[in-house]
Amino acid sequence: MALSTYHSTRLPTPLRRPRRLLGNVAGPLGLLALFALSGLLAVTGCRPAPEQYAQPRLVILYASCTVNRLYTAAYDPSVGYTPNIGRFAERATVFDRHHTESGQSGLAFASLFSGSQGRVHGVFKHPRKLQPELVLVPEIFAAAGYDTHSWLVQKMASSRLNYAQGVPEKQQYQDGPLEAFRPQFQAILERLRTEPDYRAFIVTNFSVTHGPYEGALLDEFCAEYPSRCEVRGDDAELARFKTLNREQLRPLSLNYEVAVKELGLTDHDQTRLREINDLLYKADMYRLDKMFGGVVDAVDAAGLFDDSVVAFTSDHGEVMWRDNAHLRWTHGYQLAPEVINVALLMSGPSAGIARGRYGGVSRSIDVMPTLAGLAGLELPEEYEGRGRDLAPALRGNAAPPDLTAYSHSALLYAPLRAKRMQTLASLFPSPDPEFMWVAARRGDLYFKLRRRPDDTWYHSVFDLAADPEERNDLVDPNDPFQREMFKRLEEYKVEMSDAAYNSQAGGLPRAKAVEMLRSMGYID
């Protein structure tokens, strides 16, 4: 297996140079110098010839927060409660090995929207404003004449934090996530129907699946899928565990063993808590499926599906209680596969996207250049990301590039070092970047560099195809390939740590940051 070199190009403070005016001009991308072609894209149906590719008239980047992809029909055919995502998957390419930069929203959305990692976007914990000179995906499309719109309601990656750069202020909507009934969305579809030269780009982020899990449509979900609700119990028990979930999820997530003792939870209580949380999360996924399905159906009803590129993805996933996980019901720190290996589905018949499965490793930083490539747009020369344009592979004109997906943990919130967060604090004793964990995926091998509570660091290797729950550590100090990978991983950690130190200045005022974190349930 060929190695994709982690090419270090550290920048001194400030991390970015001043931006030139955006233009539709090609420039150097600063991509990895060495890569090999490998992987598999299974396709069905007919694929248009290159000269038949059409520039999409509508591009939608639909990015929901906290989606465990195994709770969707696209990644687990036995999941019946996300039928809309399942039907969309049949008309799209499904990425099987897609990794995000980090398990925390501000970092992950910065990576997704900018096509770059922390060395460039400078976000290592949220909330944090993006640097205005950063080039974001709406700016690429705006420069090419697309009318840009955003529904960014995830508080850690909102318009107020500059995540909507490239979208006119009057089109940065704050009335909720993108849904089919939004009058602004209906107006966009009407213009596309009636104005042949009109093109639009839409981006949305939000969460209906973030903890504490709400199960807002639980009754409807249970009526439609009664076999999924056999664990529901009576109303009094359900109310008890919903309240426990709402009021105590943070200590239960980050300090489980201590929390269950303090709360006096019996073994039966713990089993019921896991079952109820799982049920509530499924009901929330059902709600997400209805929302996304409504948007796709509206595009379909307008006769625009073939002329559109629609990308469904997430900032990160979620651990849904695993007995060998350090932290339960959470995402931000431990680089668990179900958090870092996220959903990505892309459709675009006229743009040449084949239907099937994408077998190569892909990364959140690849989404922006790929959307640009599918639209025939060139990235401006001030784009400093390392993302790859995967359009040739999606069209079946090339094998997926052989990539390494690097990830790192977020920096600890100082308020989480409280007494009830002892497990988290033992793993990450300080917000200092030196305590950052890092990971890398090569094919199905997942390499991790982690810290124990006794301040020793250790290497691990897992085969995610055979061992998705990380129960069988394959680390072998005598394996030259592993040694080379860990060398690259340690180089990555140094670079990300240096960049995190450089980015410490310029954050939000502490009181404002704490207020935002508390509103999202990150701190008590």
User: For the segment 149-166, what is each residue's pLDDT rounded down to a tens digit?
Assistant: 999 999 999 999 999 999
Contact 346, 311 (CB under 8 A): yes
Query: What whole-number percentage of the chain has pLDDT above 90?
Result: 78
Q: What is the mean pLDDT of residues 107-122?
A: 96
Q: What is the mean pLDDT of residues 213-241?
A: 96
Which residue pairs, CB below 8 angstroms and at least 24 apart, start in 429-437?
431/125, 433/124, 433/496, 433/497, 433/498, 433/500, 433/501, 434/497, 436/124, 436/408, 436/409, 436/411, 436/493, 436/496, 436/497, 436/500, 437/333, 437/334, 437/335, 437/408, 437/409
Check residue 30 and give its pLDDT.
Answer: 29
Q: pLDDT tens-digit profile of 199-226?
A: 999 999 999 999 999 999 999 999 999 9
Q: Where are the domains of the chain?
A: 56-212+281-405, 218-279, 408-519
Q: pTM to 2 decimals?
A: 0.88
Contact partners, residue 120, CB within 8 Å, separation at least 6 = 11, 15, 16, 114, 134, 384, 385
Where b means 16+ CB within 10 Å and e means fewer, 174-192 reads eeebbbbebeebeebbeeb
Check residue 430 and give its pLDDT.
Answer: 87
Q: What is the mean pLDDT of residues 293-310?
A: 98
Q: What is the mean pLDDT of residues 267-275?
A: 97
Identity (one letter) of the amino acid at 231? V
Q: pLDDT tens-digit profile of 13-36?
A: 332 322 222 222 222 222 233 233
Q: pLDDT tens-digit profile of 456-503?
A: 999 999 999 999 999 999 999 999 999 999 999 999 999 999 999 987
Mean pLDDT value across the chain: 88
Check residue 339 and give its pLDDT.
Answer: 97
Supply the CATH classification number for the domain 56-212+281-405. 3.40.720.10
